[in-house]
């Protein structure tokens, strides 16, 4: 607030301001024009956006798959959710509440990890066996029912032997915390809340899962036991993980049979975790302390060039038809995959590209195959193949897709009935509904129709089908905030 008795500015301040007054006004005028143009581009009417799409497709005219169908036009209606869903005050309050809840979860997991590692460090150490125990064990003199000291039940304050290798709280404090998700087509596994820790003292890592049962019940359980692990795939296969392997978008691979994991995860011999966020402050501290520099190999750079070249071939043609092509390919691959393990041979991928009129030079296809089939199994996961050809949503967008699906799949079954989706989908804030040009029922029905086309079972939607739908929709959305609003408006997240 400005006081009423504020003295008027002195003449010398007026003289200093005058030379800049014209410049300030001109800059503000240019800024205002930029804002207006941006609003026109982002908030054009739904009918105008569809007309533009039709015009672009008429100019492209790339065969049977190039025509904009009625299904594509209904999908384009979902791209109209670009306005802000709430007023600024409500948005800030909701964001702050989510941050507080997330911080409580992180604190609970950190406390549980410290308790587990500190209590196990000394008791489970092999040095807890006394010399007498070692001698008796070697000569078979241990009495019946007499176990080595390290296996006997006792508490920390009763431990009589101090070991040199025992972990301390100070050593465990030099850790990097990161959030991760499981790359899986199973919705129950893909939506697990995982938090990992990389310890600088011994280059070991562990991953914990946070589970919430109602408002008051919660558990924090080890998902990957603390240990030193190696890459199972990619250019660094066989090498141990170090600090440079942790960044947003990185993949961590483990052999699934070595851990106590759900059977749905053990069906695949390799468990892949995607890092979705890291503790930047801890990363900066550890980098400075350990002097770590992450350098990409020439092979990684060349592979990235191949992916970008192939993705550039289809970016323009799929900007308006991404949903139809991506969901159609996913449905096609699930039907061809007789073993239900997600792996298909080279011939199946070539046939799929031919069916969907996605022409690719033979040389580019062979280069892509050599990169994806790094284990020389002559089979590739079709999820990896699709992401390599079309690209993949960034983790910011993925977070909104997972949040929306977790809201729908409140029973954590990995599949949502179409009836529940109809109940949860809200079209009140759609521009056509707000302007009175369409009813909520019409917008809801168009969404359900386009989503149902991608499902193997029209009565329910799996996580992979839900993700494929928004993966295709993401191809035509340039701004992350616009994509976030496309999920915020109808799902209320």
280 and 376 both lie in a single domain = no
Structural contact between residues 206 and 178, judged by C-beta atoms closer than 8 angstroms: no
189 and 276 both lie in a single domain = yes
CB atoms under 10 Å from CB of 285, counted, come to 14
Of the listed ranges 157-161, 232-236, 366-370, the least confidently predicted one is: 157-161
Calpha distance 305→453 (Å, rounded): 33
Q: Is residue 14 part of a domain?
A: no
266 and 350 both lie in a single domain = no
345 and 459 both lie in a single domain = yes
> Is pLDDT above 70 for 305?
yes
Q: Is residue 251 part of a domain?
A: yes
Q: Is residue 311 part of a domain?
A: yes
276 and 383 both lie in a single domain = no
pLDDT in tens, 432-442: 888 888 899 99
> Is pLDDT above 50 for 277?
yes
- Between the alpha carbon of residue 126 and those of residues 118, 130, 224, 428, the distances in Å are 15, 9, 21, 64
244 is in which domain, residue-wise? 87-139+167-295
Place of tokens 């897709």: 401
100 and 175 both lie in a single domain = yes
Instruction: State the pLDDT at residue 430.
Output: 87
Residue 120, phi then psi, degrees to nearest 5? -90, -20
Q: Is residue 473 part of a domain?
A: yes
For the chain, how many structural domains are there in total? 2
Q: Is residue 211 part of a domain?
A: yes
CB atoms under 10 Å from CB of 8, counted, come to 7
Q: Which of 270, 295, 320 is the last residue before a domain boundary?
A: 295
CATH of residue 275: 2.30.29.170
Q: Is residue 29 part of a domain?
A: no
pTM: 0.72
271 and 353 both lie in a single domain = no
Q: Is residue 62 very low, low, confident or very high in pLDDT (cuts 50, 70, 90)?
A: very low
pLDDT in tens, 103-152: 888 888 998 988 888 876 555 555 555 555 555 555 555 555 566 555 55
Q: Which of 239, 272, 295 is the last residue before a domain boundary?
A: 295
Q: Is residue 64 part of a domain?
A: no
314 and 457 both lie in a single domain = yes
CATH of residue 361: 1.10.238.10
291 and 307 both lie in a single domain = no
Structural contact between residues 195 and 210, judged by C-beta atoms closer than 8 angstroms: yes
Beta-bridge partner residues of 179:
195, 277
312 and 452 both lie in a single domain = yes
pLDDT in tens, 31-52: 566 655 545 544 444 444 444 4
Calpha distance 415→193 (Å, rounded): 18
């Amino acid at each position: 607030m400005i006081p009423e008795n504020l003295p008027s500015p002195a003449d010398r301040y007026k003289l200093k301001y005058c030379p800049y007054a014209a410049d300030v006004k001109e800059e503000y005028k240019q800024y205002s024009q930029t804002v207006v143009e941006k609003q026109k581009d982002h908030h054009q009417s739904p009918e105008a956006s569809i007309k533009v799409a039709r015009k672009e497709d008429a100019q492209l005219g790339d065969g049977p798959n190039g025509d904009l169908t009625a299904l594509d036009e209904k999908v384009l209606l979902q791209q109209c959710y670009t306005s802000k869903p709430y007023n600024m005050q409500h948005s800030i309050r909701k964001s702050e509440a989510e941050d507080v809840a997330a911080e409580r979860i992180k604190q609970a997991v950190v406390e549980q990890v410290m308790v587990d590692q500190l209590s196990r460090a000394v008791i489970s150490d092999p040095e807890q066996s006394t010399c007498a125990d070692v001698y008796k064990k070697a000569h078979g003199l241990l009495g019946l029912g007499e176990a080595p000291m390290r296996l006997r039940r006792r508490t920390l304050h009763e431990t009589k032997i101090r070991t040199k290798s025992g972990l301390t709280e100070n050593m465990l404090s030099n850790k990097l915390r990161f959030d991760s998700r499981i790359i899986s087509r199973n919705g129950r596994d893909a939506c697990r809340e995982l938090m990992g820790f990389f310890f600088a003292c011994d280059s070991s890592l562990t991953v914990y899962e946070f589970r919430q049962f109602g408002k008051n019940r919660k558990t924090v359980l080890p998902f990957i036991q603390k240990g030193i692990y190696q890459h199972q795939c990619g250019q660094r296969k066989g090498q141990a993980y170090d600090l440079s392997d942790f960044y947003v978008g990185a993949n961590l691979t483990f052999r699934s049979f070595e851990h106590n994991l759900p059977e749905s995860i053990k069906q695949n011999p390799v468990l892949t975790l995607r890092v979705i966020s890291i503790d930047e402050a801890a990363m900066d501290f550890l980098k400075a302390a350990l002097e770590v520099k992450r350098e990409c190999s020439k092979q990684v750079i060349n592979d990235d060039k191949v992916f970008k070249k192939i993705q550039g071939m289809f970016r323009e043609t799929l900007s308006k038809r991404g949903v139809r092509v991506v969901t159609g390919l996913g449905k096609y691959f699930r039907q061809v995959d007789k073993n239900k393990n997600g792996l298909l041979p080279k011939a199946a991928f070539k046939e799929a590209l031919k069916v969907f009129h996605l022409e690719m030079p033979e040389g580019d296809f062979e280069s892509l195959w050599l990169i994806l089939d790094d284990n020389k199994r002559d089979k590739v996961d079709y999820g990896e193949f699709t992401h390599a050809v079309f690209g993949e949503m960034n983790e910011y967008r993925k977070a909104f897709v997972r949040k929306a699906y977790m809201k729908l799949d409140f029973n954590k079954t990995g599949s949502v009935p179409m009836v529940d989706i109809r109940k949860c989908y809200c079209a009140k804030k759609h521009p056509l509904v707000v302007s009175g040009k369409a009813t909520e029922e019409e917008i809801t029905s168009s969404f359900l129709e386009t989503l149902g086309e991608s499902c193997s079972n029209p009565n329910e939607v799996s996580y992979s089908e839900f993700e494929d739908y928004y993966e295709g929709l993401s191809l035509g959305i340039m701004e992350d905030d616009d994509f976030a609003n496309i999920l915020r408006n109808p799902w209320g997240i």
